[in-house]
Amino acid sequence: MEEFPSRGDSVSSINSYFDESLYLPPQRAQRIGVSRNQITYRPPTFSQLVADELVPRRNEYKYIALASDSDEIRLLVLHSGQYEDKIECSLMTVPSTDRKLHYEALSYHWGVEEPTKEIWIRSFKGNFQGKAVKNIRSFHNLAHHVKPQKFYIRPNLYAALSQLCGPKRELVLWIDALCINQDNQQEKNMQILKMAEIYSRAYNVCIWLGEGSKQSDMAIDFLPKILNLSQFDILINDQEMLKHWTALADLTRSTWSSRRWVVQEIAYAKEATLHCGHGTIHWADFADAVTFVRCAPADELCRKWSDERGGQRCDYKASQP
């Protein structure tokens, strides 16, 4: 075995040792034919940086400006497709005062992630009052004569659009992140003032809690059972139902309920449906079920839930809808 140079050796001998150590493989490696490796640095390409989320995506789609002195808003037509298909949609400019507008509004949590999910948008500006807006088939035929352009959105909104999109249906939606040009501060200020009107005129508000799980599916399937008051006491005292109560408690703590805009969006809604993954339930049923839990003498339920969670406090009151 080769010895390391001693303290008394000259500087040149020490340098010679390190030079040889750096460029020559050890003797055992030489015997088994291991060759010298040379590492060449190649800087990443722009496409690699984008794929690794090290640089922001570049949107191809450019908004058509809204008239600053008008009551115009944009509505998004989510075109039909399968869950795995790329998302295609169209933005159309319409007067918010048109009483014949027929659309849904989306209520959801933006999330903190960067816009990394790709969708494709077409854009229109014209007279789509009344009949034209409601006749989605006619609008769909017109839309496909316009080339779609790439646009990036956040993952939670992408999941919502993927889930709401159906193979045989097209939806007209108002979504703040898409129907408002987020890069135009003047437009944002004007459109925010219209939000109460927008939500109150939507025929339904879609509440998106996020991508589903076995827990959330269990909670949504459990809600109708809670509304059957004749079975309520049985459900509370049945040890087998504890996992269902736990799933419900988790559902009521979704990040959606932490948004400060929630009260306004729900207060102005004519109707509302709650969506979590594949599960859907009417908002009134969800609110009633949680209210029953809060009003019921559920001390024993909370004690069992706390034991299940290692002493964590059970507080349905804090998570009421």
Q: What is the pLDDT of residues 300-311, one digit of tens each?
A: 555 555 555 555
| pLDDT tens-digit readout, 135-178 | 555 555 555 567 889 999 999 999 999 999 877 778 999 999 99
**Percent of the chain with pLDDT strictly greater than 90:** 27
**Which whole-number Å values give the CA distances from 147 to 73, 129, 249, in the listed order?**
22, 23, 46
| Structure tokens given for 29 | 């490696």
Q: Which amino acid is present at 291?
A: T
- 108-112, 157-161, 260-264: which is most confident: 157-161
**Which whole-number Å values give the CA distances from 207 to 32, 141, 160, 286, 304, in the listed order?**
65, 29, 10, 11, 30
Question: For the sheet containing 117-125, what is the strand order?
Answer: 149-153, 117-125, 87-95, 72-78, 171-174, 104-107, 204-208, 272-276, 279-282
Angle between helices 214-227 and 283-295 (to 10 degrees): 70
pLDDT at 275: 92
Confidence label for 235 from pLDDT (cuts 50, 70 and 90): confident
pLDDT at 273: 94
Average pLDDT, the chain: 75
- Residue 256 burial (CB count, 10 A): 17
Confidence label for 121 from pLDDT (cuts 50, 70 and 90): very high
Answer whether residue 94 shows pLDDT above 80: yes
pLDDT at 129: 40
Average pLDDT over residues 205-229: 88
Lowest mean pLDDT among 9-13, 92-96, 262-266: 9-13
Model-level pTM? 0.71
> Cβ-count burial of 286 within 10 angstroms (0-12 exposed, 13-18 middle, 19+ buried)?
buried
pLDDT at 91: 92
The whole-angstrom distance between residue 106's C-alpha and the CA centroid of its chain comes to: 12
Lowest mean pLDDT among 130-139, 172-181, 199-208: 130-139
pLDDT at 266: 85
pLDDT at 157: 96
Answer whether residue 4 shows pLDDT above 50: no
Q: Which amino acid is present at 249?
A: A
